[in-house]
Structure 1
Amino acid sequence: MSDPFPKLASVTTTPLAAQWSRPGPTPEQRRADVLIGLVVTVLVLLNMTLTTSAGVSVFGGRVPALPEQVFWTVAICLPLCWRRRWPEAVAIVISVAFLVGQLRAAPEQQLTSGVLFAAIYALGAWGRDRRRAKWIRIGITAAMFLYLFITLAIFLPRASESDFEHASGFLPPLLAVAVNGILVNVLIFGFAYFFGEIAWTSARREHELELRAEQLRASQAEARELAVSDERLRIARELHDVVAHHVSVMGVQASAGRRVLDKDASKARAALESVEQSARTAVDELRRMLGLLRQSGDAVDVAAGGVDRLDELLTNAGEAGLATTLGVYGDPVPLPESLSLAIYRIVQEALTNTLKHAGATSVDVRIRYLAHEVEVDVTDDGRSVLVGQRTAGMGLIGMRERVSAHDGVLSTGPVTDGPSRRGFRVRARFPLTRVAVEA
Structure 2
Amino acid sequence: METADDWRRPGPTAEQQRLDLYTGLAATALALISLTLVRSTGTFPLGPPPSGLEQILWTVAVPLPLIWRRRFPAATALVISAAFIGAQVRAVPEWQLSQWALFAAIYTLGAWGQDRRLSRRLRIGLIGAMFVWLAISHVTSFDTIPADAFAEAVGPVPPILAAIVYSVLINVLFFGFAYAFGETAWISAGRQHELARHAEQLLRSQAQIREHAVVGERVRIARELHDVVAHHVSVMGVQASACRRVLDKDPAKARVALTAIEETARTAVDELRRMLGVLRARDSDADDTGQAAGIDQVETILERAREAGLQATLGVYGEPRPLPGSLSQAVYRVVQEATTNALKHAAGARMLDVRIRYLAHEMEVEVTDDGRPARPANADGLGLIGMRERVAAHGGEFEVGRRSVGGWRVRARFPLPVAAGQPA
Give TM class, smaller chain. Answer: over 0.9
Comparing 389-398 with 246-255, greater Cα deviation is found at: 389-398
Q: Name the SS of the counterpart of 1:84 in structure 2.
A: coil
Match of 1:50 in 2: 37
Match of 1:424 in 2: 408
Structure-2 separation of matches of 1:435 and 1:18? 55
State the TM-score, normalizing by the size of structure 2: 0.93
Q: Deviations over 1:332-351 (max 9, x none)?
A: 23222222111111100110
C-alpha deviation, 1:180, in angstroms: 1.1
**One-letter code aligned to 1:425:** R
**One-letter code aligned to 1:324:** A
Could you tell me whether the CA contact under 8 Å between 1:387 and 1:414 is conserved in 2? no
Comparing 127-136 with 149-158, greater Cα deviation is found at: 149-158
Q: Deviations over 1:155-184 (max 9, x none)?
A: 457646511123344433223211211111
C-alpha deviation, 1:259, in angstroms: 2.1
**One-letter code aligned to 1:429:** R
- Which of 15, 21, 45 is the equivalent residue of 2:8? 21
Q: Name the SS of the counterpart of 2:314 in structure 1.
A: strand
Structure-1 separation of matches of 2:283 and 2:124? 59
Match of 1:80 in 2: 66
**One-letter code aligned to 1:382:** G
C-alpha deviation, 1:58, in angstroms: 2.1
Structure-2 separation of matches of 1:176 and 1:397? 89
Match of 1:39 in 2: 26
Q: Name the SS of the counterpart of 1:266 in structure 2.
A: helix
- Kindly indicate whether residue 178 of structure 2 is the aligned counterpart of residue 178 of structure 1: no
Q: What do you get for the CA RMSD once the two structures are aligned? A: 2.2
**Residues 285, 121 of structure 1: CA spacing in aligned structure 2 closer, same or farther, 3 A cutoff?**
same
Match of 1:9 in 2: none
Structure-1 separation of matches of 2:284 and 2:12? 47
C-alpha deviation, 1:304, in angstroms: 4.2
Could you tell me whether the CA contact under 8 Å between 1:357 and 1:390 is conserved in 2? no
Could you tell me whether the CA contact under 8 Å between 2:313 and 2:352 is conserved in 1? yes
Give structure 1 stretches of 5+ with no counterpart: 1-13
Match of 2:370 in 1: 381
Match of 1:320 in 2: 308
Alignment of 1:38-437 (within 5 A): 38-59=25-46, 61-156=47-142, 159=145, 162-296=148-282, 300-301=286-287, 302-358=290-346, 359-383=348-372, 385-386=373-374, 388-389=376-377, 393-416=381-404, 421-432=405-416
Identity %: 58
Structure-1 separation of matches of 2:262 and 2:147? 122
Structure-2 separation of matches of 1:50 and 1:64? 16
State the TM-score, normalizing by the size of structure 1: 0.90
Could you tell me whether the CA contact under 8 Å between 1:336 and 1:435 is conserved in 2? no
Could you tell me whether the CA contact under 8 Å between 2:48 and 2:91 is conserved in 1? yes
Could you tell me whether the CA contact under 8 Å between 1:365 and 1:376 is conserved in 2? yes
Q: Deviations over 1:222-277 (max 9, x none)?
A: 22111111111111111111101101111111122222223333322221111111
Q: Name the SS of the counterpart of 1:234 in structure 2.
A: helix
**One-letter code aligned to 2:358:** Y
* Count of residue pairs the alignment pairs up: 418
Q: Deviations over 1:122-172 (max 9, x none)?
A: 111111111111111111000001111222334457646511123344433
**One-letter code aligned to 1:369:** Y
Q: Name the SS of the counterpart of 2:20 in structure 1.
A: helix
**One-letter code aligned to 2:228:** V
Could you tell me whether the CA contact under 8 Å between 2:361 and 2:418 is conserved in 1? no
Structure-1 separation of matches of 2:283 and 2:143? 85
Q: Name the SS of the counterpart of 1:18 in structure 2.
A: coil
C-alpha deviation, 1:289, in angstroms: 1.9
Q: Name the SS of the counterpart of 2:152 in structure 1.
A: coil
Structure-2 separation of matches of 1:257 and 1:90? 96
C-alpha deviation, 1:368, in angstroms: 0.7
Q: Name the SS of the counterpart of 1:339 in structure 2.
A: helix
Structure-1 separation of matches of 2:378 and 2:352? 15
Give structure 2 stretches of 5+ with no counterpart: none
Q: Name the SS of the counterpart of 2:334 in structure 1.
A: helix
Structure-1 separation of matches of 2:283 and 2:182? 49
Could you tell me whether the CA contact under 8 Å between 2:227 and 2:336 is conserved in 1? yes
**One-letter code aligned to 1:26:** T
Could you tell me whether the CA contact under 8 Å between 2:21 and 2:68 is conserved in 1? yes
Q: Name the SS of the counterpart of 2:349 in structure 1.
A: coil
Comparing 103-112 with 163-172, greater Cα deviation is found at: 163-172
Structure-1 separation of matches of 2:186 and 2:170? 24
Could you tell me whether the CA contact under 8 Å between 1:252 and 1:320 is conserved in 2? yes
Match of 1:8 in 2: none
C-alpha deviation, 1:15, in angstroms: 4.3
Could you tell me whether the CA contact under 8 Å between 2:38 and 2:93 is conserved in 1? no
Comparing 218-227 with 297-306, greater Cα deviation is found at: 297-306
**Residues 139, 435 of structure 1: CA spacing in aligned structure 2 closer, same or farther, 3 A cutoff?**
farther
Structure-2 separation of matches of 1:390 and 1:76? 83
Structure-2 separation of matches of 1:390 and 1:434? 36
Could you tell me whether the CA contact under 8 Å between 1:16 and 1:208 is conserved in 2? no
Structure-2 separation of matches of 1:209 and 1:164? 57
Could you tell me whether the CA contact under 8 Å between 2:110 and 2:183 is conserved in 1? yes
